[in-house]
Structure 1
Amino acid sequence: MWKVGNLQAAKGEKVKGYLEFSLIEEKLPAFLINGETDGPTVLVLAGIHGCEYTSIDAALEFARGLEAKDVKGKVAILPIANPAAFYARSIYVHPKDQKNLNRVFPGKTDGTASEKLAYCLNETAIGSVDYLIDLHGGDMIEALVPFTIYQVTEDRNLTEKSRLLASLFGIDYVVGSTGQVGGSTYSSAAYQGKVAIIAEAGQQGILDRDQSVLLQEGTKNALRSIGVMEGDVINHSTKQLNTFDWSFADFTGLWYPNVEIGQQVAEGVCIGRIADEFGETLKEYFAGTSGVVLFLVTSLAINVKDPLLAIGD
């Protein structure tokens, strides 16, 4: 019997139900697929950000189509990991504490709403698996070129396993992140010894069926590569990126980008400006590195500390 929180699935059984926790009010829809034979344990997440609809749809459709007979090992799928943000249509943040759930892992038992949710997810789901695949996309105000991310750690073997998994989604750009320890699902999981990646596709709060299929097929290909699903593994040509350079707003005002997603930019080029409510420029922003624009905020309204765009190189 495989137990995940209050849910359980016998060998050869598929179960759907709600994960419930004493720390939080939210109930998380979950699928548990316990294969007929032994193998790795995998967690597929989506909806960490509530308005990334394409990735939520991808996780849900993948879960609906996966049966125990298709699995060697165990697969848990949580398609809406942040229900409060999903139903509030809240961009980036949990509506109760205005914190980005993907910046507070592994969470706290005595923290805010986001921190408690992160703790429940980490302790109940992430901490008990071998592999984490976290599906994302452009939030309601973000245009995005599909890309995958993995955490670069001092454990070279773990890093390489994560890089290989991230390269199997049929997505051109693969980013090796050297950012801060913890905070995000994949980074926190990596420092717990898990092979962990994020795959991003879809944008601007639109449910894109083609991009959903891209994420679904990528997830299947990744699972085939580790022996959880049967079938030939498709190896894709990818471009490895080792820099993920973000720009953030220093002012509240109006954001006018000068670039588009997928555009190659040179270091030092003007990438946009923020103006005040009279149209006067408050600050111009310049590329901190050369590379490709992976995502871009498309909202005219911008708040101080909001992300503006990210460049990968």
Structure 2
Amino acid sequence: MTVQWEIGSLRAAPGEKIKDYLTLPSIEEKLPAFLLNGSEDGPRVLVLGGIHGCEYTSIDAAQKVGASLEPTQVKGKIIVLPIANPASFYARSIYVHPRDKKNLNRMFPGNQNGTDAERLAYWLNELVFKQVDYIIDLHGGDMIEALVPFSIYHVTEDEKVLTASKEMASLFEIDYVIGSSGQVPGSTYGCAAEQGIPAIIAEAGQQGILSEEHSVLLQDGVKNILFSLGVLEGEVKKSESTYISVFDWYRSDFKGLWYPAVLIGDTVKKGQVLGKLTNEFGETVKEVVSHTEGVVLFLVSSLAINDNDPLLAVGA
């Protein structure tokens, strides 16, 4: 029998949909939220967008999912947070929270007494993540990132969580599904999985440009997962995907200029030059060489590069 659902400051009675702002302790910004409490029991699902504030396609997709659903359709409970990091969104801040310059998707499970991003991660984990059974985190290319659509799940020792996460990640109509073994510490999906909550990231859209096509891809994937969980009624669509076990990141160790020699979607060989870093006089300081054979999934398109900035990632 369904009961009132409470998530932090939000409450929805059985059969009710709430559109309101989620307030979190010690967090200045309020997070817009859709809270749906179905008339029947079922799984509790969180849909996130905007963990990175300039990944606009994912924000649009999450918002449209939240706006389109009605509690009469829902068997279970759904919370949608389309702009999970409002400070970054309105500051148009690439990667990081504008006040502490930390990447929210490297801060989980957070720190109650930490900096802005650490506190936001802490309260999202404590008051939202721990109140749901499944997490779908939507992402895309930030303002300086080109990428091909892909999804990621965390390879955890909990076989049940691993299997459920992999299945969820496979339900988007995309070519590449990555099993990540902790290459991205502090992530939403990794933190959730290690707490026993199946979780994924799905990425589509790029370079801070709102893509209707890729927004629809993400929306359809979310609904496909909800079909598979029995939260919504509908036919589950299966797609053919390439499963990837290595997500090989390359970072700059130099402040200067970045000239990639490959494009997203390119197949590269081990030892192949992926790009070069130059100084401000155009002199090559370093060539970036591939460690593996695989596909370029993500590529920074900015000429300006700082020390420790990401450059690209190859899936192998």
Q: Does 1:69 align with 2:72?
A: yes
Per the alignment, residue 46 of structure 2 pairs with: 43
* Shift, 1:124, TM fit: 1.0
Q: Does 1:184 align with 2:187?
A: yes
Partner of 1:14: helix, strand, or coil?
A: strand
Q: Does 1:151 align with 2:154?
A: yes
* Shift, 1:169, TM fit: 0.7
> 1:140 is matched by which residue type in structure 2?
M
**Comparing 174-183 with 116-125, which one deviates more in the overlay?**
174-183
* Alpha-carbon distance in structure 2 between the residues aligned to 1:19 and 1:257: 41
- Residues 170-222 of structure 1 show CA distances to partners (whole Å, capped at 9, x for unaligned) of 11100000015850000000000001000000000000000000000000001
Partner of 2:205: helix, strand, or coil?
A: coil
> 1:171 is matched by which residue type in structure 2?
I
1:213 aligns with one of 212, 216, 238: 216
* Alpha-carbon distance in structure 2 between the residues aligned to 1:22 and 1:166: 32
* Alpha-carbon distance in structure 2 between the residues aligned to 1:78 and 1:22: 17
Specify every segment of 5 or more residues in structure 1 that has no aligned partner in the other structure, as ranges.
none
Per the alignment, residue 304 of structure 1 pairs with: 307
* Shift, 1:157, TM fit: 2.1
> 2:180 is matched by which residue type in structure 1?
S
> 1:36 is matched by which residue type in structure 2?
S
Per the alignment, residue 123 of structure 2 pairs with: 120
Per the alignment, residue 223 of structure 1 pairs with: 226
Partner of 2:166: helix, strand, or coil?
A: helix
Does the 8 Å CA contact 1:181/1:191 hold for their aligned counterparts? no
* Alpha-carbon distance in structure 2 between the residues aligned to 1:278 and 1:181: 34
> 1:250 is matched by which residue type in structure 2?
D
* Alpha-carbon distance in structure 2 between the residues aligned to 1:70 and 1:276: 57
Does the 8 Å CA contact 1:148/1:197 hold for their aligned counterparts? yes
* Alpha-carbon distance in structure 2 between the residues aligned to 1:133 and 1:190: 12
* Shift, 1:127, TM fit: 1.1
> 1:170 is matched by which residue type in structure 2?
E
* Shift, 1:161, TM fit: 1.0
> 1:280 is matched by which residue type in structure 2?
E
Per the alignment, residue 4 of structure 1 pairs with: 7
> 1:282 is matched by which residue type in structure 2?
V
Q: Does 1:235 align with 2:214?
A: no
> 1:197 is matched by which residue type in structure 2?
I
* Shift, 1:125, TM fit: 0.7
Per the alignment, residue 275 of structure 1 pairs with: 278
> 2:197 is matched by which residue type in structure 1?
K
Distance 1:181 1:47, change over 3 A: closer
Partner of 1:69: helix, strand, or coil?
A: helix
Per the alignment, residue 20 of structure 1 pairs with: 23
* Alpha-carbon distance in structure 2 between the residues aligned to 1:4 and 1:31: 11
Provide the TM-score with structure 1 as the length reference.
0.99
* Alpha-carbon distance in structure 1 between the residues aligned to 2:164 and 2:211: 29
Coordinate RMSD, CA, aligned: 0.8
2:269 aligns with one of 258, 266, 282: 266
Does the 8 Å CA contact 2:150/2:204 hold for their aligned counterparts? yes
Per the alignment, residue 103 of structure 1 pairs with: 106
Partner of 1:221: helix, strand, or coil?
A: helix
* Alpha-carbon distance in structure 2 between the residues aligned to 1:4 and 1:17: 12
> 2:182 is matched by which residue type in structure 1?
G
* Shift, 1:296, TM fit: 0.1
Does the 8 Å CA contact 1:269/1:286 hold for their aligned counterparts? yes
Does the 8 Å CA contact 2:25/2:123 hold for their aligned counterparts? no
Partner of 1:284: helix, strand, or coil?
A: strand
Partner of 1:42: helix, strand, or coil?
A: strand
* Shift, 1:22, TM fit: 2.5
* Alpha-carbon distance in structure 1 between the residues aligned to 2:165 and 2:51: 20
* Alpha-carbon distance in structure 2 between the residues aligned to 1:244 and 1:39: 34
Does the 8 Å CA contact 1:181/1:188 hold for their aligned counterparts? no
Provide the TM-score with structure 2 as the length reference.
0.98
Partner of 1:175: helix, strand, or coil?
A: strand
Q: Does 1:85 align with 2:88?
A: yes
- Residues 102-150 of structure 1 show CA distances to partners (whole Å, capped at 9, x for unaligned) of 0000100110000000011111111111000000000000000000000
Distance 1:97 1:301, change over 3 A: same
* Alpha-carbon distance in structure 1 between the residues aligned to 2:207 and 2:25: 34
Percent of aligned pairs sharing the same letter: 63
1:201 aligns with one of 195, 200, 204: 204
> 1:275 is matched by which residue type in structure 2?
T
> 1:16 is matched by which residue type in structure 2?
K
* Alpha-carbon distance in structure 2 between the residues aligned to 1:6 and 1:156: 34
